[in-house]
A and B are shown apart, each in its own frame.
Chain A
Amino acid sequence: MNEIKTHAEFSPHESKRNFLKYILSGGLFALAGSILYPILAYLNPPKQGEVEISSVKAGKLNEIEKDSGMMVKFGTKPVILIRTANDELRAFSATCTHLDCTVQYKKEMGVIWCACHNGKYDLNGRNVSGPPPRPLDEYRVIVQGEEILISKKV
């Protein structure tokens, strides 16, 4: 028995077979990789060359009433502009920090409200009730004459 085992250990057939096994399985892995990698890379959507926007014109001062809110397109993102009852202009990201819904100004309650899961923010953008975990990002509002400009806070 012992003799055969030693013989097998040093058998040229065995090492040839092992060599072929490694070559073949290595080749199969390489093949699988060369097929899977392009597919996986294809699934990942390419980054769109987005123009970085730093400010937008939201409209004229007379277009927004006191105690109301207005949606503004800030590039691809919605921003909510609010003119408070005591005539202050404020702007926040309109994307709820909870689960990505778009918020609105709720006049009756005097809050920024998200219809999806009943999240509420005060007029400083702070999350005051419901599930939102973080306050809304604030934007800067500048009034130039009649024109309202909204820009990112630096």
Chain B
Amino acid sequence: MNFSWGKIYSWINERVHLEDLVEFLGKKYVPIHRHSVWYYFGGVSLFLSIIQVVTGILLLLYYKSGEELAYESIQFIMSKVEFGWLIRSIHSWAANLFVLAAMIHMFSVYFGKAYRKPREMTWLTGMLMFFLALGFGFSGYLLPWNELAFFATKVGTDIAGVIPIIGKPIMIFLRGGEEVTGATLSRFFGFHVAVFPGIFTVLLGIHLILVQRQGMSEPLGLENTLGNEVKTIYGERSRTMPFFPNFLLRDLLLWLIVLNLLAILAVFFPWELGKKADLFAPAPAGIKPEWYFLFMFQTLKYLPAQLWIIDGEVFGILAFGLVGFLWMLVPFWDRKSSKGEKNRFINYIGIFIVMYIIILTILGWT
């Protein structure tokens, strides 16, 4: 029997009509303009999340949850298992790059007002995935059960506990008790490898289907300013690029570059394990959360103990919560952009937030 891809294709096509899909892919175009470069960050985030799934499954083969096992099992992965150090290092680095790529993706969508009607649901699912990514980062950070992670989790869950009325039950639910103990570790492990991936997969599915269905958004106000035109093979001038294969190949090339960057980071800057958590030791000097929580951490440092009638930290946490919530709902209160009108106010808010995050992150870092 002679094998050919064509035969396989027609065998499947006869049953599920693949040609519809092929036709759809052939008609998919990506707009070209001076901000097209930002389109790539969604794809980069997707690529990094695939890496997280693969390396995460690999780590699961040796990781053991539990107060007396977690730290030791990571030590085992890093010192005894072949390439264990590499897999763990890639998982940690890719997690950080993922948050970075997703942030860039989010801000580019924000400034391009791509969330405007009809793409509200794409923005919403994206934002939920972003919050989930922070949850992944926070829960995964505890799993090695080291000193830094222990205090980061104490502070992080205590922050949840500060919220009036519902805070305390949430904190106890997260910690699996009053204090951060092995029970917390078990819960975080469950969230990290089962609950979050399940929710994430559903959201990602919706997000990607919406992107396919609705196509790429063009930034508001760019319609009149012609971007770089490209010549098609027929010599016509076009302001779009076929998704398949032109854009996809560019996507893949960038993925390859990201993979290389990841390998360099993981090999030359291997992720440290630190000291094992000691429930009775004081917090070490210079303790910091992951960089993407630094701006909030730094803000909490500056807030005075008492602000008007409430505790400074309660004020800070509620303020961040409120801003995050409003940010997520931007497609619903930015009416102007949905009508296709310019809305400078949105840009000012965005610029302020980006500057705030950058400045406080730098202050927190040094």
Contacts and interface: CB of A to CB of B under 8 A. Distances in A.
Interface stretch (A18-26, A129-137, A146-154): A129-137
Contact of A99 (B159, B177, B304, B306): B159
Interface string B183-206: 100000000000000000000000
B282 A94 contact: yes
B301 A117 contact: yes
A76 B183 CA distance: 14
B284 interface: yes
Interface in A39-97: 43-45, 48, 71, 73, 76-78, 80, 94
A115 interface: yes
Contacts of B162: 99
Contacts of A77: 179
Interface in B289-311: 297, 300-301, 303-306, 311
B274 to A, nearest CB: 14
Contacts of B169: 44
Contact of A102 (B281, B300, B304): B281
A136 to B, nearest CB: 13
Interface residues of B, number: 34
B136 interface: no
Given A44-B173, A100-B155, A115 B282 contact: yes
A102 B173 contact: no
A116 B172 contact: no
A48 B178 CA distance: 10
B158 interface: yes
A100 B303 contact: no
Contact of A101 (B154, B172, B311): B154
A115 B305 contact: no
B281 A130 contact: no
Given A131-B313, A133-B305, A99 B282 contact: no
Interface in A102-138: 102-104, 114-118, 127, 130-133
Interface of A: 43-45, 48, 71, 73, 76-78, 80, 94, 98-104, 114-118, 127, 130-133
